[in-house]
């Protein structure tokens, strides 16, 4: 089973990009390295010039080539994939499923993360689900699910990887604490 480890920086980078663009999709790059068990995602950098829509997001080849050239010159860190969000749109909830376009853009030896973002119905601590293949929880007014997809060469199709993000476990947005501080 392939594992994808997210650092605290990567976790926050994905969440900030996803929340910033909510109700539209976001897109960003995952930086880190591949090892014998899977991927170590050290940073998640959102594209600033992406064309974001309610259902879809893209970046120009020119912008991607600039970023790729820059990161290729950095030692010990590679572009190992990307992330994007699937936001709620009206009453239609976001999801972590791959679209046909998503599947066509998956390359072996990369990781692709989808972040589902919906309006929060109730507060939930961050935790793993589905045998560690889904990480979810709430922050501020949002419920977010994270799934890392990888290509399975033997099955010739994408599959969910096991997620490891120790920083996120048990985390809950402390809105009640902040509200108490405001009243005091």
Reported as a single tens digit per residue, the pLDDT across 132-176 is: 999 999 999 999 999 999 999 999 999 999 999 999 987 665 544
Contact 31, 78 (CB under 8 A): yes
pLDDT confidence of residue 75: 74
Residue labelled with tokens 């997210």: 6
Contact 38, 5 (CB under 8 A): yes
The correct answer on CATH 3.40.50.2000 for the domain covering 3-183 is no
Below-50 pLDDT ranges, the chain? 53, 175-181, 183-184
Own/partner pairs, 54-61, CB within 8 angstroms, 24+ separation: 54/23, 54/24, 54/25, 54/87, 54/89, 55/25, 55/89, 56/25, 56/101, 57/24, 57/25, 57/26, 57/27, 57/84, 57/85, 58/27, 59/27
């Amino acid at each position: 089973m392939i594992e994808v480890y997210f650092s605290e920086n990567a976790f926050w980078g994905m969440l900030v990009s996803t929340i910033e663009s909510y109700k539209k999709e976001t897109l960003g790059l995952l930086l880190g390295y591949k090892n014998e068990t899977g991927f170590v995602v050290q940073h998640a950098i959102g594209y600033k010039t992406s064309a974001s829509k309610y259902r879809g997001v893209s970046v120009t080849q020119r912008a991607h080539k600039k970023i790729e050239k820059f990161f290729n010159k950095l030692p010990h860190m590679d572009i190992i994939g990307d992330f994007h969000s699937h936001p709620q749109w009206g009453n239609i909830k976001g999801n972590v499923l791959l679209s046909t376009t998503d599947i066509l853009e998956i390359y072996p030896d990369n990781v692709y993360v989808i972040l589902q973002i919906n309006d929060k119905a109730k507060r939930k601590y961050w935790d793993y689900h589905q045998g560690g293949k889904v990480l979810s929880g709430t922050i501020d007014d949002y419920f977010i699910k994270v799934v890392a997809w990888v290509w399975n060469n033997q099955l010739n199709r994408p599959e969910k990887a096991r997620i490891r993000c120790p920083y996120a476990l048990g985390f809950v947005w402390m809105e009640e604490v902040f509200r108490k501080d405001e009243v005091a």
